[in-house]
Chain A
């Protein structure tokens, strides 16, 4: 625990490259045909006809399948008017929705053939804007009677709390839609043989992907084996299997031929789920001396065209609305609205970044209104350390937290007072390049449904090597290294003798996967406990073999030997113990569950330079405390934080998915979508802090999403702070030069 260990995964990834789904050269995929999807060019339309004859005539075309061919699939559950089809049959609801697929011998033939599938559409009015969705003049699902898919509505119960406030600030802000963009797009391959499907899919959860395929095709889950090869990033957007993945499996079953699919980036930017997408109205009230007494968040969550995870996102934002603050009166409401856009689902943080962004903007606007340093307002309102475990008005039970300490530590590292002095100097001098200092303090919920836990099986082999089978599912996090460290810590077996396997539903019958920053606290704990169980069993075996009492046995993790106390010359190693275990094997199976979530927290300071003449923003420093409890491997934990910070900063500064009024995506290539690059970021300054949780034996919380959650509001607050002396109170994200310039001009001209 706590040792810096470089990754065991890396030599392979750096020399031959990983084996991602499109790299598979498995014998079962020999001669695999290629799947190419035909996608809707309309945001909203009725399908009036499909003609596949021209496509069928193209050389190399194996099969063309449309929504009309899906009669072998189970019908959607009764009475579900918003069910999402595998291939659109009657209507399309977003640009990029899969309508048909072609199966071809060659990779390039697929696009030729897909171009020749003629789909006749009768365009319908598109619902693009959230206001249009709420007005409900056009419905995506007429049978449901509304575009609001779920809601928790304001009934005005909290009005008195605001009436009693000396100061109330109310504002509507946008937490814009962004694209996850893992560098590996979605991909799948499938083979049907002996009445069984094998599906390789780029996913964060092999078992959920298996269930999605089995459910979608109406076959028993035992007839599906899902294998997760290397996965080139997920960020929440590769949870389970999307409709395309299911369709690829279906194509293999229908054609009897192995097939493979990898989407292009242009498909990915319209076909993979997007993240965020909330319009938030907050109302914050309190006293002139900085005490916040009431907070209301009312949000509209853009679900996109089908209800995937949007309600979960809105629920998480609602639950975490009050963040790190001890506010007597808190209320939060949401409406989840369907629009003719790509469906919205999890993206690194999934609902918590949105909650944090809202309250951290609200606190800054409250501070500006009463003329107090945002540092001071935060300090006056943190939940005090002696109040933990702390149940919030939103019903969350925070396990442990040291919010003021985290802020103080990050401010000291950043040199807050010096930064303020430099800011004052530039303002005084009328420097065209102004300095902005942005703070954020956050708490988030991690564990991703901890009640369903995670599995581990640990097997010690006769040669002293170990195999760990984990239900968790790495896609860059470094599980192979981390899990080997956990085993090594307990069993003293060298890391190079420990093999970690994941992502094969035949080899690992039960598993949940990786999302919600759950891996170490659940999957890691399962590995840790499996090691302890194996150790206990080994002790029994060693006692028998050495004819000693268990109490007289000693285990030395340095050499991995069991000895009787006082007889250093005779030791049993792990291989010998595995042999002694005989047919039972020396192994342990653990399914670790927890009935409570963990709540990592932290504080970020962003420093930006804003050219007040052009509106151009440059992030010059980013300093963070991200406290997720004790750290197993600082190399990995820091990597998670750094990547998260970049994604969070990207949302504040640059990235946004945009549609035109007709629902056409205008950011559907990486030329148009401003994915953040190395030139737009500084090196990050990470400050350590570790407050353990009592909820698992390792004391750990999740670190995967922390950086993103803290970074976005810190950067956005910094941009506003840089020009606050000009009268600017808020700038929506992304804080592009145009937005910043406009905000400055409007403040100057008093608009």
Chain B
């Protein structure tokens, strides 16, 4: 079937099998490989993207379901001049990533979290990121990064 999905502002059309997952559409169809696959049970959140502004796990959405929708991946987060999004800046400043594999999904989940709750407590950040797994950081610096990004956005 033919699907048209606007990914990071660019309209992408592809002829896909009915069963194609959104994450495979992004990786293989749109050739945007930042969005990773870490499990097959919607548990790890490595594939988190924004679908019409809402965070979704793109391994549990069919490309067909996203037909006509807008998707934002971590590749679409930085400004047009390459300036990092505050969340990306905070992840680097606070060492919120190590191997980097969970990072694109984690950053997108964090962006979505702050959109829903711009001033979260530490516990709210932890609960908000419960669906995103990280094996390297122990979450410590991820939580700090999200709180720092929230503080920065508040100050801006």
Contacts and interface: CB of A to CB of B under 8 A. Distances in A.
- The interface centre, meaning the residue of A13, A22, A647, A684 with most chain B CB atoms within 10 A of its CB, is A13
A16 B99 contact: no
Given A265-B38, A476-B99, A678 B143 contact: yes
Interface string A16-45: 111110110100000000000000000000
Interface stretch (A2-10, A89-97, A291-299): A2-10
Contact of B97 (A14, A22, A264, A671): A14
> 7 closest A-B pairs (Cβ-Cβ)?
A17-B34, A232-B101, A646-B138, A476-B99, A13-B100, A476-B98, A670-B43
B99 A475 contact: yes
B120 to A, nearest CB: 12
A266 B38 CA distance: 10
A13 B97 contact: yes
A115 to B, nearest CB: 14
A670 B141 CA distance: 23
Interface string A164-194: 0000000000000000111111000000000
Contacts of A23: 27, 33
B140 A683 contact: yes
Interface string A628-661: 0000000110110011111100000000000000
B77 A232 contact: no
A184 B122 contact: no
B31 A25 contact: yes
B125 A678 contact: yes
A713 interface: no
Contacts of B35: 17
B39 A646 contact: no
Given A9-B100, A18-B101, A670-B41, A639 B141 contact: yes
Nearest to A264: B40
Nearest to B105: A183
Nearest to B87: A14
Given A14-B91, A669-B41, A675-B133, A683 B143 contact: yes
B107 A477 contact: no
A17 B32 CA distance: 9
Q: What is the size category of the interface that chain A forms with chain B?
A: 35 or more
Contacts of B55: none
Given A7-B92, A14-B88, A670-B44, A20 B101 contact: yes
Given A15-B84, A17-B75, A639-B141, A266 B100 contact: no
Contacts of B99: 18, 182-184, 230-233, 475-476
Contacts of A645: 138
Interface string B1-37: 0000000000000000101100010011001011111
B104 A679 contact: no
B127 interface: yes
Interface string A258-283: 00001011100000000000000000
B64 to A, nearest CB: 14
Nearest to A707: B138
Contact of B39 (A17, A475, A670): A670
B84 A183 contact: no
A108 interface: yes
A615 to B, nearest CB: 21
A230 to B, nearest CB: 7
Contacts of B38: 183-185, 265
Given A183-B133, A639-B98, A19 B33 contact: yes
Given A17-B75, A20-B36, A642-B140, A183 B102 contact: yes
A107 interface: yes
B138 A13 contact: no
A107 B133 CA distance: 25
B151 interface: no
Nearest to A477: B98
Contacts of A639: 95, 98, 136-137, 141
B19 A14 contact: no
Nearest to A185: B38
Interface string A665-700: 000011100010111010110000000000000000
Interface in B118-156: 122, 125-127, 129-144
A156 interface: no
A710 interface: no
Interface residues of B, number: 59
A181 B135 contact: yes
Contacts of B91: 10, 14
Nearest to A106: B17
Contacts of A7: 92, 95
B103 interface: yes
Contact of A108 (B19, B84, B127, B142): B19
A16 B40 CA distance: 23
B56 interface: no
Interface of A: 6-7, 9-11, 13-20, 22-23, 25, 107-108, 180-185, 230-233, 235, 262, 264-266, 475-478, 635-636, 638-639, 642-647, 669-671, 675, 677-679, 681, 683-684, 707
Given A677-B131, A678-B139, 13 more contacts: A17-B34, A17-B74, A18-B101, A19-B33, A108-B17, A108-B20, A180-B135, A233-B98, A647-B138, A677-B130, A678-B126, A678-B130, A678-B143
- The interface centre, meaning the residue of A25, A183, A669 with most chain B CB atoms within 10 A of its CB, is A183
B136 to A, nearest CB: 5
Nearest to B77: A15
Contact of B107 (A6, A14, A184): A14
A266 B34 CA distance: 22
B88 A15 contact: yes
Nearest to A649: B138
A532 to B, nearest CB: 29
A9 B99 CA distance: 10
B78 to A, nearest CB: 5
A638 B95 contact: yes
B146 to A, nearest CB: 10
Interface string B79-99: 000101000100111010111
B44 A266 contact: no
A642 B100 contact: no
24 contacts: A6-B92, A6-B93, A10-B92, A14-B88, A16-B33, A17-B36, A17-B74, A22-B37, A23-B33, A108-B20, A182-B135, A183-B99, A183-B135, A184-B38, A230-B100, A265-B39, A266-B40, A476-B99, A478-B98, A646-B138, A670-B44, A678-B143, A681-B138, A681-B139
Contact of B36 (A16, A232, A477, A681): A232
A265 B41 contact: yes
B117 to A, nearest CB: 15
A524 to B, nearest CB: 17
Nearest to A265: B39
A163 to B, nearest CB: 45
B39 A476 contact: no
Contacts of A16: 33-34, 75
Contacts of B27: 22-23
A707 B103 CA distance: 22
B9 to A, nearest CB: 15
B12 to A, nearest CB: 16
Contacts of B44: 183, 265, 670, 675
Contacts of B40: 264-266, 669
